[in-house]
Amino acid sequence: MTAQDEKRQARLKPLKRLIPLAVLGAVIALVVGQFTRMITHDVLLTVQMTPGLADGLEKVELTVTDEDREVISVTVFQLDESARSQRKLTHKLGLTAGKYDLAFKFLASGGSPRAVIKRTLEVSGDTAVSWNLP
């Protein structure tokens, strides 16, 4: 082996030691990123309805979709007389960080939709959201 080959080998030796460490660091970063995206946050949703909207309602259907327009959940609230008189709905959602579209479909007796109201919700941590819906 010549002196030039020895110098080249001496320069490559630290690089050969660093490559596995760099690959391991990249893998760990990817795994941590995946776990972070999977953490769910508690979102307490409170909806206050106007008297005209709440009168005669039979149920309210809440559809939550994510940024890819994939349906995350559908919740149907059956309204009794006390819920109609209070004109208030409260619901707890478990959502990961991101942006969501919420569609409230207000159904009167007979199943005919009275109104569909959409809102956007951005989740980055545990939160409480309150909306007044006409």
Residue 61 structure tokens: 């259907």
Domain boundaries, the chain: 1-38, 40-133
Fold topology of 40-133: Immunoglobulin-like (2.60.40)
pLDDT digits 0-9 by tens, 64-115: 999 999 999 999 999 888 888 899 999 999 999 999 999 999 998 777 788 8
**Closest listed residue to residue 105, CA positions, set 71, 74, 72:** 74
Amino acid residing at 37? R
Per residue in 40-64, pLDDT (tens digit) is 999 999 999 988 888 888 999 999 9
| pTM greater than 0.85 | no
| C-alpha separations of 72 from 67, 75, 98 in Å | 10, 10, 12
